[in-house]
Amino acid sequence: MCQLINNKKPSAGLSLALGKILVSLGAFLFSSTLSAQSASPLEVSQLIDEYRASREKVILQDFMELLSLPNIPDNQDDMDLNVDHITALLEARGFSARRLQAGGSPYIYAELMQPAASETLLLYAHYDGQPVQLENWAYPPFSPTLLDATLQAGGQPVDVEALTGSFDPEWRLYGRSAGDDKMPIIALLHTLDALAANDIELSVNLKILFDGEEERGSPTLGNIIDAYPGLLDADLMLFCDAPMHQSRNVQLVFGVRGVKTLNMTTYGANRPLHNGHYGNWAPNPFMQLAYLLTSMRDESGRILVEGYYDDVAPISDLERSAIAAIPDITESLKDELAINTPEGNGARIEELVMLPALNVRDMSGGSVGNAISSSATVALNLRLVANQKPETVEALIETHIAGQGFHIVYEDPTDDILRSNEKVIKLDWVGRGGLGIRTPMDGVMPQRLAQLLQSVIPELILTPSMGGGLPLEDFTTRMDMPIIVLPLANHDNNQHAENENIRLQNIWDAMSIYGVILANFGNR
């Protein structure tokens, strides 16, 4: 577990010393006490590390075997091979496993019930992957390849078969889904092996759900939950996806932003017009968009639509304290990204992503010639936060746009509509949009998890909300359990892109974290 701490390898003594620091840090945010356990969290962490150190090659080979199964949901045969393979791995560990399907790709459900446990954990990961563009990959995406450094640093392939002993934890395993999101599957299974090898019992009932369509937005997840009532019920859900904090510190994330996509199109003449002959007379649709956008959002990012912040969940004192305790990465981020002055009037990014955002993603519609185009389109991504309802957001924005003098349509306007309205805008709301979600940080289960992990990871980061989205909505609207996101992949894992990879240390750390949670989270 010691590798979790800033990637150094301090002695057990230092780990223990750091553990003491937690007492003050943890007490700052949480006040409950740890339950009695047969092996302390630090002991569990050390035992898992020792077990793993002797088995790295086997774990890696298991992982490579799983990664060699293509997992793009377009090919259902491939998905079935994944399901069969993972199911066999689960059953070999004593799980009772089922294939759940309700109109989409299959999900894998499995459980390992403990007669003595009073709490149930639901662990989520997904086994599907993003499509690949073969020509962009340095090594074939489904021929997992271990490199002795990152590609950018000139990493060269390592022959895993020929290796003995422990590996350099900075080595990287390249392959589709190495970071997003097959790693938690392998880490969990080998954690269970490690616990069994050390005769450590699980302190909780363990339920797992491995999603087969996450990269498509889990379109049938709601159907699954509805079709198997009670099956997924748990006291706490751990959503194991997404990359870790850039500082490499372990992080628990208590919320996500939702998203709503809006394309807006304004109109000039019904055909492109020579901007010499007509410039100053023909309406310019790009200028209409420019004025509209500046009426919707100020230069600091504040949304100017009336009532837009009315529903926004306020930031609690606990959440503000948590943000204040997170190492401030603003300056290093500004340097890395070459940004002089971020938006937000100096507020921290962790606070700014708890507010709704109106992001201009693209503007398009111009012509190659010297024309005033007949239309121009802006693509917006609206990021929503907890309590904001997509329907309300839609209504507020439409009221604002109408107030700017636009006649709103939802299909391409006819010439008659253009002739009879001073300004016309087509709104294309792409889908309903997803909710922003925040799990209260003061809940019993979230507090217990944070305190447990802080006992072995004093630098644990507690993040009230990430800025991006995750498919949590179907769980929160259909079920009643706190959800905490536990990211485990290195932040530079290239998820969704070519050359996706996992840093070996991140697998090892995941095992330690899982071990501590499984052995020590439950009240026994």
Residues 187-226 that bind a copy of itself (CB under 8 A): none
Residue 273 is a binding residue for a copy of itself (CB under 8 A): yes
Cis peptide bond N-terminal to 335, omega within 30: no
Query: Closest by alpha carbon to 438, among 238, 258, 302, 243?
Result: 258
Among 38, 61, 133, 359, binds a copy of itself (CB under 8 A): 359
| CA separation for the pair 397, 385 (Å, rounded) | 16
The count of other CB atoms within 10 Å of the CB of residue 277 is: 10
Residue 284 is a binding residue for a copy of itself (CB under 8 A): yes
Among 36, 134, 162, 338, binds a copy of itself (CB under 8 A): 338
CB nearer to a copy of itself: give 222 or 366: 366
| CA separation for the pair 347, 343 (Å, rounded) | 8
What's the closest the beta carbon of residue 243 comes to a copy of itself, in angstroms? 10
- Say if CB 328 and CB 438 are below 8 A apart: no
Residue 432 is a binding residue for a copy of itself (CB under 8 A): no
Residue 381 is a binding residue for a copy of itself (CB under 8 A): yes
| CA separation for the pair 331, 344 (Å, rounded) | 15
What's the closest the beta carbon of residue 251 comes to a copy of itself, in angstroms? 13
Site residue total, a copy of itself (CB under 8 A): 75
What's the closest the beta carbon of residue 153 comes to a copy of itself, in angstroms? 18
CB nearer to a copy of itself: give 139 or 278: 278
Among 39, 97, 371, 386, binds a copy of itself (CB under 8 A): 371
Name the residue with tokens 């363990």: 206
Residue 309 is a binding residue for a copy of itself (CB under 8 A): no
Stretch that binds a copy of itself, among 123-131, 346-354, 437-445, 503-511 (CB under 8 A): 346-354
What's the closest the beta carbon of residue 361 comes to a copy of itself, in angstroms? 5
Reduced to 3 states, what is the DSSP secondary structure of residue 377? Answer: strand
Structure tokens at 76: 């259902």
Residue 294 is a binding residue for a copy of itself (CB under 8 A): yes
- Say if CB 52 and CB 59 are below 8 A apart: yes
Query: Closest by alpha carbon to 283, among 379, 428, 416, 421?
Result: 421
CB nearer to a copy of itself: give 20 or 419: 419
The count of other CB atoms within 10 Å of the CB of residue 323 is: 21
Residue 289 is a binding residue for a copy of itself (CB under 8 A): yes
What's the closest the beta carbon of residue 146 comes to a copy of itself, in angstroms? 27
What are the phi and psi torsion angles at 153 (to 5°)? -90, 10
Residue 429 is a binding residue for a copy of itself (CB under 8 A): no
Query: Closest by alpha carbon to 308, among 268, 273, 358?
Result: 358
For residue 444, what are the contacts with CB-CB under 8 A and spacing of at least 6? 32
Among 283, 458, 464, 482, binds a copy of itself (CB under 8 A): 283
Residue 387 is a binding residue for a copy of itself (CB under 8 A): no
Among 112, 204, 208, 259, binds a copy of itself (CB under 8 A): 259
Residue 379 is a binding residue for a copy of itself (CB under 8 A): yes
CB nearer to a copy of itself: give 82 or 251: 251
Among 23, 138, 226, 277, binds a copy of itself (CB under 8 A): 277
Residue 340 is a binding residue for a copy of itself (CB under 8 A): yes
Structure tokens at 273: 């017009």
For residue 479, what are the contacts with CB-CB under 8 A and spacing of at least 6? 225, 232, 233
CB nearer to a copy of itself: give 335 or 411: 335
What's the closest the beta carbon of residue 362 comes to a copy of itself, in angstroms? 2
Among 373, 454, 493, 501, binds a copy of itself (CB under 8 A): 373
Reduced to 3 states, what is the DSSP secondary structure of residue 486? Answer: coil
User: Helices H, strands E: what count in the chain?
Assistant: 16, 20
Give, in order, the Cα–Cα distances in Å from 429 to each of 264, 295, 396, 410, 482.
9, 19, 13, 9, 30
Site for a copy of itself, residues 398 to 427, rule: CB under 8 A: 415-416, 418-423
Give, in order, the Cα–Cα distances in Å from 10 to each of 6, 7, 201, 279.
10, 9, 28, 70
Site for a copy of itself, residues 459 to 488, rule: CB under 8 A: 466-469
